[in-house]
Every structure is written in C-alpha cells, then in structure tokens.
A and B are shown apart, each in its own frame.
Chain A
C-alpha cells in the first residue's frame, strides 16, 4: 500500500540552527510530493511541492526540499530556523488517479528563542 513516513516525530532546535526533516514515500510510479505546514491553532497550508523537473524545490519562508528518486525521499530543509517556524510539518504524496493525498504522521518542530 502507498504510504508516507516521517522519521522525526518531534524536533527541538534553537534559533539559527539548521533543519532537516525526513520524509520517505512508498509507491512505485510517478508521484507528486508536498510539504504542508500547520502553525499552532491553524489549518494546513502549502509550504512547497514537487511535480517534475528540478528535484530541488524552493518554497516559502526559506524552506527547500530535495526529491531523491532512488531513495524515495523528499526531505525538507532550512539553513537557519526562526522561532516563528514552530509548527507541525506534514509530508504528503499523491499521484494521478489516486483519488486522495496520503499524509505522513507529521513532525512537530519547536524552535527555542
């Protein structure tokens, strides 16, 4: 079955530290990959997405992610986090005719000021 795994359940960083959140997916065909962010008490919103082309995609607020097909991975990175990046981060996958997006279990990021 198709699935998305996020390895880090809770990450705690100090401001200015670098961030990398892991995401692996399970599907043998062509996929579309997403990272969504959910700030405390808010709804999910798109951070960045990969459909095709350059495997290094840049999103809002200085985030980027790299699609590595051979590793079935789509890790999220940011060189220097801020306190305002404290949020829940969800990796998601979909593909043509899937009928839905499959989400990972989320990673809680806490940035200490």
Chain B
C-alpha cells in the first residue's frame, strides 16, 4: 500500500486552464504538505496543514488553493495556470509538524503548462 498517494502523476495542460491534484495519506498522520520542485530541483514548501487547518502558506499566489476535507486528504487546486507553474508537485505528510518529524513524500505530480 502506498503511504502517500497523489493523482494524477502526469498532467499537461494549456495556459489559463484550471486543474486539481489530489493527495491522500494512509499513515494516520496529523500533518500534510504541498511542496513544489522546480526544474533546478529546488524544493520549496507551499502549504502546511495540521488536522485540516492551514498553518503555513509560503507566499504562494492565491491562484493556488489547497483544500483539506479531512486530515487524510489534502488537494491542490490551481486556477488560471501559467507557464511558470510547470514543476513537480509533491504531497507529503508527517506525524505532527509540531514535533519536527520525518516527512513522507508522495511520488509527485509532473505538471507541464504549455
């Protein structure tokens, strides 16, 4: 069983479209994250949720809207996609962000905006 699963794995779309990436974790963790990895492999935190509550929003444009219906799910919706949004988006989870635990990553969603 995959601990952190995200779909779709690959997504090619045109500028201006709206798209969503779904994420689920079956580890019973309290905290979930979205990270963005650009073409230079730099990994940046976008959002951090603890028990469905947003605790970190790292100056991400408001075109990106995360939603956490329960603590096992954290979806990412992106409006009006731009070329610069092309990246790999990793969902992740940890037992509790407040304890500084190990992060478990999903397999990534490769987004290409054309």
Contact = CB atoms under 8 A, between A and B. Distances in A.
Contact of B43 (A32, A42, A90, A108): A90
A90 B106 CA distance: 16
Given A90-B43, A100-B33, A43 B102 contact: no
B107 A88 contact: no
Interface stretch (A14-22, A44-52, A64-72): A44-52
A49 to B, nearest CB: 6
A95 B33 CA distance: 16
A99 B43 contact: no
A44 B57 CA distance: 21
Interface stretch (B60-68, B69-77, B93-101): B93-101
With most chain A CB atoms within 10 A of its CB, the pick from B43, B44, B101, B106 is B43
Given A34-B102, A49-B102, A100 B90 contact: no
A62 B24 CA distance: 32
Contacts of A43: 90, 105-108
Contacts, number: 63
A99 B56 CA distance: 7
B114 to A, nearest CB: 21
B27 to A, nearest CB: 13
Contacts of A105: 40-42
Contacts of B25: none
B48 interface: yes
B107 A99 contact: no
Interface of B: 33, 40-45, 48, 50, 55-56, 58, 90, 94, 97-108
- For the complex of A and B, the 8 pairs showing the least CB-CB separation, nearest first, are A94-B100, A32-B100, A43-B105, A44-B105, A103-B43, A43-B107, A99-B56, A100-B45
Given A43-B90, A46-B104, A99-B48, 8 more contacts: A42-B107, A44-B90, A44-B105, A96-B99, A97-B98, A100-B33, A102-B45, A103-B44
